[in-house]
Structure 1
Amino acid sequence: MIRWNPIAGWMGFPYLSRSQGITHSYTLTYKLTDKTGEAWTSRLIRFKNKDKAAIYGAGRLLYGAVPGLIKAMAVNVKDAVFVAALSSGETQADPDRAIPYFADQSAGLIGARCDVGALSKNIHEKIHNLYSAEQRDAELEKAEYKAKKLDAEHIFVFDDFITRGATLSKIASAILEKNPKSKVYGLALAKAERVDWCPNPENDQVSGEWDKIWQQGEEEAAGAKKG
Structure 2
Amino acid sequence: MLRWTNRAGWMEFPYLSVNQGLTRTYTLAYKLTDDAAELWTSRFIRFKNKDHKTFYGGARLMYAALPPLLASMNLLAKDCVFVSALSSSETAADPNRQIPYIASQLAETMGAGLAIEAITKQPHNRIHDIYKAELRQAELDKASYVSSKLPAPNVFIFDDFVTRGDTLSRVAQAVLETNPHSKVFGVALAKTERLSYCPNPDNAHVPARWNEIWAAGEAEVK
Conserved in 2, the CA contact under 8 Å of 1:151 and 1:179? no
In structure 1, what is the Cα distance between the partners aligned to 2:77 and 2:38?
35
1:75 match: 75
In structure 2, what is the Cα distance between the partners aligned to 1:149 and 1:79?
14
Conserved in 1, the CA contact under 8 Å of 2:53 and 2:219? yes
SS of residue matched to 1:143: coil
In structure 2, what is the Cα distance between the partners aligned to 1:198 and 1:7?
21
Give deviations 1:57-83, integer Å, cap 9, x for gaps: 000010010100011111122111000
1:204 match: 204
Q: How does 1:17-166 map to 2 (within 5 A)?
A: 17-166=17-166
The size of the alignment, in residue pairs, is: 222
SS of residue matched to 2:216: helix
- The one-letter code sitting in structure 1 at the alignment partner of 2:4 is W
- The one-letter code sitting in structure 2 at the alignment partner of 1:168 is L
- What is the RMSD of the two structures over their aligned residues, measured on CA atoms? 1.0
Give deviations 1:103-153, integer Å, cap 9, x for gaps: 011112211111110100010111111121111111010100000100311
1:177 match: 177
1:225 match: none
1:213 aligns with 2:213: yes
- The one-letter code sitting in structure 2 at the alignment partner of 1:169 is S
In the TM superposition, residue 196 of structure 1 has moved relative to its aligned partner by 2.9
The answer for unaligned runs of 5 or more in structure 2 is: none
In structure 1, what is the Cα distance between the partners aligned to 2:41 and 2:137?
25
Conserved in 2, the CA contact under 8 Å of 1:67 and 1:109? no
TM-score normalized with structure 2 length = 0.97
In the TM superposition, residue 200 of structure 1 has moved relative to its aligned partner by 4.4
In structure 1, what is the Cα distance between the partners aligned to 2:119 and 2:188?
17
In structure 2, what is the Cα distance between the partners aligned to 1:196 and 1:208?
27
In the TM superposition, residue 5 of structure 1 has moved relative to its aligned partner by 0.6
